[in-house]
Amino acid sequence: MNKTLKIAMAQIAPIWLNKEATLQKIKRAIIEATESKSELIVFGEALLPGYPFWLALTGGAEWNTAVNKELHAHYVNNSICIEKGDLNSICQLAKKNNIAIYLGIMERPLDRGGHSIYASLVYIDSAGEIQSVHRKLQPTYDERLTWSPGDGNGLQVHSLKDFTVGGLNCWENWMPLPRAALYGLGENLHIAVWPGSDHNTKDITRFIARESRSYVVSVSSLMSRNDFPEDTPHLEAILQNAPDTLANGGSCIAGPDGEWIVEPVLNKEGLIIKDIDFNRVLEERQNFDPVGHYSRPDVTRLMVNTERQSTVEFK
């Protein structure tokens, strides 16, 4: 029984930049996943409370404008402070339903002062305990105008039945060394979370699976013009340049041989559920294991700093 795992990919849209409403939608997805006897549910990058789409639509790089300042403040106000218990209800639901969760959040951490935000990937185990919070190492392009760079503290893996699971956010999946760090910890089920769209998932999902000889589960959100709430600040300015579809999904699963188990699913909201078999990992590692028999640590090795970064240290 430990060699198979039922995974639910939650390809859903947020109630954009509305923390409480999006939390309720996430809870409904978790309950639905448990009804199908799923043992792990994965949500997209920054789903709670949403991706900063306005930056590309309203001149996000313009200096000192009311639009950017007011939207950023709205974003921070709807971001998640774990220390204040914002994820407690999700943790309780995980424990009640015996399900593990990977959830992409905008984190507002007190250990960095409580005013900056980080694109974080949170792992909650089936006992309802937060086991890791991985803050995205390098925000991409216009994300840097609202997100802060993270650290290596969240480069961790977790036991889930016979699997060893770890995860990265969006384009940091393209960074070879963070991937290698997770491989070195024994990862064989890689979680890649995205804001949405198959142009991100269709190539790299299979590439990482073939490189690592692991399962790779890519989960994306959805976003359309209709998903912007009417009370969003500067909504008219956002919609003026917004396409009908901002994120089309593209959630998918590749097996340890790099072939599709679930091809990218487009423009469909809901849960995508699949069983995976651990023995397939062992079969594919027979001919290639990037940190085992097909490695040369006497020639190349990676050093990783896993300290949680902070500006001050009190003694």
Tokens of 126: 């089936």
Number of separate helices (H) and strands (E) present in the chain:
7, 13
Q: Are 272 and 249 in contact (CB under 8 A)?
A: no
Overall average pLDDT of the 169-188 stretch = 98
pTM of the model: 0.96
303 within some domain = no
295 within some domain = no
pLDDT of 314:
87
If you compute the radius of gyration of the chain from its CA atoms, what whole number of angstroms results? 19
277 within some domain = yes
The amino acid at 164? T
Q: Which residue has the higher pLDDT, 313 or 290?
A: 290
Q: What is the CATH number of the domain that holds 252?
A: 3.60.110.10
Rounded distance, CA 33 to CA 248, Å? 21
Cis peptide bond upstream of 49, omega within 30: yes
**Domain around 263:** 4-285
- Of the candidates 120, 105, 104, 93, which has an alpha carbon nearest to the alpha carbon of residue 38? 93
In order, the DSSP letters of 102-130 are EEEEEE--GGGTSSS-EEEEEEE-TTS-E
Q: Are 255 and 261 in contact (CB under 8 A)?
A: yes
pLDDT of 4:
97
| 221: CB partners within 8 A, 6+ apart | 11, 12, 13, 14, 43, 44, 45, 46, 47, 50, 51, 104, 194, 195, 196, 247, 249
C-alpha distance from residue 14 to each of 69, 223, 236, 249, 276 (Å)? 22, 8, 19, 12, 27
299 within some domain = no
Residue 9 buriedness (CB in 10 A; 0-12 / 13-18 / 19+): buried
- Of the candidates 102, 109, 107, 96, which has an alpha carbon nearest to the alpha carbon of residue 124? 102
41 within some domain = yes
Q: Are 75 and 146 in contact (CB under 8 A)?
A: yes
Rounded distance, CA 36 to CA 29, Å? 11
Domain count, the chain: 1
Tell me the per-residue pLDDT of 231-268, one tens digit each, with 9 for 90 and over: 999 999 999 999 999 999 999 999 999 999 999 999 99
Q: Are 86 and 120 in contact (CB under 8 A)?
A: no
Burial 132-160 (b: 16+ CB within 10 A, else e): bbbbbbbbeebbeebbbebbbebbbbbeb
Partners of 124 in beta bridges: 101, 130
110: phi then psi, degrees, rounded to nearest 5: -70, -25
Asked whether residue 120 carries a pLDDT value surpassing 90, the answer given is yes
pLDDT of 1:
82
The amino acid at 304? V
Q: Among all residues, which ones are annotated catalytic?
A: 45, 136, 170
163 within some domain = yes
| 1: CB partners within 8 A, 6+ apart | 161
The amino acid at 43? F
The amino acid at 179? R
Tell me the per-residue pLDDT of 287-297, one tens digit each, with 9 for 90 and over: 999 999 999 99
126 within some domain = yes
85 within some domain = yes
pLDDT of 271:
98
Q: Sorting pLDDT into bands at 50, 70 and 90, what band is 313? A: confident
What are the start-end ranges of the H helices in the chain? 19-35, 66-77, 88-97, 176-184, 198-212, 235-241, 279-285
